[in-house]
Amino acid sequence: MKVGIIMGSKSDWPTMQHAAEMLDLLNVPYETKVVSAHRTPHLLAEYAESAKERGLKVIIAGAGGAAHLPGMTAAFTPLPVLGVPVQSKALSGQDSLLSIVQMPKGIAVGTLAIGTAGAANAGLLAAQILATHDETIMANIEKFRTEQTDNILNNPNPAE
């Protein structure tokens, strides 16, 4: 597996499945797992500390509310970590976003948009990181981008 997709709860899956779907589309192998910074802190440490040795290249971490999972994962691994703020019920994901984005200098998390767009783009960005050293994935990304552009250019009428 090249990408690890982790999330704080099963309830995050409807959001995080969009990261998995993007990786499926681009033919990038990944694994998925529930790992909670607060409810399973030892599992988080074990997962992040072993990720590089297990061959993962990028980790996507999604969480909502007091969303410490991406930052704590980044603290335990030198791999790039992409954080997805899950849209919370109480504060619509503003809490998740601010929890993930305001990392202290020295430990980096690449923070995506709140919700499903952020999850899909996390999958895309993970593939783009891998594509710097993988021509097959690069070709898949370029095909995806061309099709996306052509789809708009070939369907310009919004009322149709």
For the CB of residue 53, give the shortest distance to ligand RP5 in the complex, in Å. 26
Q: What tokens were used for 45?
A: 């440490």
Say whether 39 counts as a known binding-site residue. Answer: yes
Nearer to ligand RP5, 74 or 130 (CB): 74
Q: How many CB atoms lie within 10 A of CB 102?
A: 10
In the complex, the smallest distance separating the C-beta of residue 58 from ligand RP5, rounded to whole angstroms, is: 19
Per-residue burial over 60-99, b = 16 or more CB atoms within 10 Å of its CB, e = otherwise: bbbbbbebbbbbbbbbbbebbbbbbbbbbeeeebebbbeb
Nearer to ligand RP5, 16 or 28 (CB): 16
Residues that bind ligand RP5 (CB under 6 A): 7-9, 11-12, 36, 63-65, 86
Nearer CB in complex with ligand RP5: 86/130:
86
Cα dihedral 19, 104, 99, 39 sign: positive
CB of 59 to ligand RP5, least distance (A): 15
β partners of residue 36:
none
Q: How far apart are CA 49 and CA 27, in angstroms?
A: 26
Nearer to ligand RP5, 51 or 86 (CB): 86
Residue ranges for the known binding site for substrate are: 9, 12, 39
Residue ranges for the known binding site are: 9, 12, 39
